Amino acid sequence: MNTATLQAQDSAGLSAGTPLLLEIKDLYVHFDVYGGTLKVLDGVNFTVRSGEKVGLVGETGCGKTTTMKAILRILPMPPARIPGGEIYFKGQDILKMGEADLRRVRSEGISMIFQDPTAALNPVFTIGQQLEAVVKYSLEGKKLSRREIRERAIIPLREVALPDPERMLDSYPIQLSGGMRQRVCIAMALVASRELLIADEPGTSLDVTIQDQILRLLHRLVEEKNVSVILITHTLGVVRETTDRVYVMYAGNMVEAADTRELFARPMHPYTRGLMDAVPRLTGGGIAGGIRGRIPDYLDPPPGCRFHPRCDHAMDICRQEKPPFYRLSDNHEVACFLYRDGG
């Protein structure tokens, strides 16, 4: 897999005709608020290849969800503004698309599962009505009759192992438990065939045994349907168990990208290391001290590397320049001046 990976990454600059499914290039997102401009995303680069499962980790407020919302162009604008950057989906820039193309991407290309299934489902429509709407407006749905649409809607409910799917179609979201609602959301994301699935913390609001079931279900369906996945989470353990490649994000920047095994074996960026040490282990032995300070104020983010005020290894250059990605090995890149001579 490694050589193919590399070629894909090396040819990333060539936009059209590459094997990349999604490519974000130097994306900036700002929010105009009372008191100034929140400079949230600060030059994000991110790629997903066909069939790949990519993880995106970072603490609350580091811009994970903002990045994903930018992909689907569902950021509220204003206050959000995209002053720079490109988002290529299958070679086409989403940011430059017209309404019709955009609708096609949303209904046939990319789907998203949100963190809170209660907020993602409309409380006044039945599960069936909501699922059928997805089928109806999908690529195949336009020529189907009402009965066929209903039959189509039952299939994903069965796939996500919900009991009694026929009855489920006539239930309202409030009648279901949290785990069941999240299964419905997954069903909704998978009912029409898509190429990319964005899962934004799909298990975080659920109990650990339910989270485990949801993640296993997602994993199985993704394998079966050969869908690419972006899994967003702040739980490192979830990423380790479910993805091929990981991006670590801090304050609107990607700070480290590596194959999952590689990242967990050799975390390089001081932030990644701090995060890794802070995770409580089943083997015991106490917990490290965490990372001092907190995520910067986006109204006035620190110059240079945004992590330098919290970093124990900060040097003069960190306060002035933003570190580029340094390639440590074929499958490991890190944005930190500590590694400018190749680590």
Partner 1 sequence: MTTDILTVTNLKKYFVIGHSGILKRKPITVKAVDGVSFTVKEGETFGLVGESGSGKSTVAYTTIGMYRPTAGNISFRGQNLFEGNRTRPLALKKEIQIVFQDPGSSLNPRRNIRQILELPLRIHRPGDNRLEEIVRLLEMVELPPDYMHKYPQMLGGGEKQMVAIARALATEPSFIILDEPTSALDVSIQAKIINLLIRLQDEFHLSYLFITHDLSLMRNVASRVAIMYLGKICEVAEAAEFFRNPYHPYTQMLLSAIPVVSEEEEKLKPKKIISTGEIPSPVNIPSGCSFHLRCPKKMDICSEVDPVMVEVEEGHTVRCHLYGQP
252 vs 22: CA distance, rounded Å: 19
Q: Which is nearer to partner 1, 78 or 289 (CB)?
A: 289
CA distances from 65 to 56, 70, 135, 196, 240 (A): 10, 8, 26, 16, 20
- Shortest Å distance, C-beta 275 to partner 1: 6
Q: Which is nearer to partner 1, 3 or 209 (CB)?
A: 209
Quick one: which segment of 38-46, 129-137, 193-201, 281-289 binds partner 1 (CB under 8 A)? 281-289
Quick one: which segment of 10-18, 66-74, 107-115, 282-290 binds partner 1 (CB under 8 A)? 282-290
- Between CA 18 and CA 26, with CA 22 as vertex, the angle to 5 degrees is 100
- Shortest Å distance, C-beta 239 to partner 1: 8
241 binds partner 1 (CB under 8 A): yes
177 binds partner 1 (CB under 8 A): yes
Main-chain phi, psi angles of 172, to 5 degrees:
-95, 155
Q: Which is nearer to partner 1, 22 or 40 (CB)?
A: 40
Which of 12, 82, 102, 210 binds partner 1 (CB under 8 A)? It is 210
Quick one: which segment of 16-24, 192-200, 207-215, 217-225 binds partner 1 (CB under 8 A)? 207-215
Q: Please, what's the b/e burial string for 56-65 (b: 16 or more CB within 10 A of its CB; e: otherwise)?
A: bbbeeebbbb
| Phi-psi sector, 15: left (phi>0), alpha (psi -120 to 50), beta | left
Quick one: which segment of 7-15, 35-43, 96-104, 205-213 binds partner 1 (CB under 8 A)? 205-213
116 binds partner 1 (CB under 8 A): no
Which of 145, 209, 312, 341 binds partner 1 (CB under 8 A)? It is 209
> Could you tell me if 213 and 228 are in contact, meaning their C-beta atoms sit under 8 angstroms apart?
no
CA distances from 138 to 135, 141, 152 (A): 5, 5, 11
93 binds partner 1 (CB under 8 A): no
- Shortest Å distance, C-beta 259 to partner 1: 15
Q: Which is nearer to partner 1, 78 or 286 (CB)?
A: 286
CA distances from 55 to 16, 100, 119, 158 (A): 24, 30, 23, 27
64 vs 251: CA distance, rounded Å: 9
Taking each helix axis from N to C terminus, what angle separates 178-190 and 208-225, rounded to the nearest 10 degrees? 10
135 vs 315: CA distance, rounded Å: 55
Q: 3-class SS at 228?
A: strand
Quick one: which segment of 65-73, 136-144, 283-291, 325-333 binds partner 1 (CB under 8 A)? 283-291
33 binds partner 1 (CB under 8 A): no
277 binds partner 1 (CB under 8 A): yes
Which of 184, 221, 249, 275 binds partner 1 (CB under 8 A)? It is 275
What residue ranges bind partner 1 (CB under 8 A)? Answer: 59-60, 177, 179-180, 207-213, 215-216, 234-238, 240-241, 264, 274-292, 294
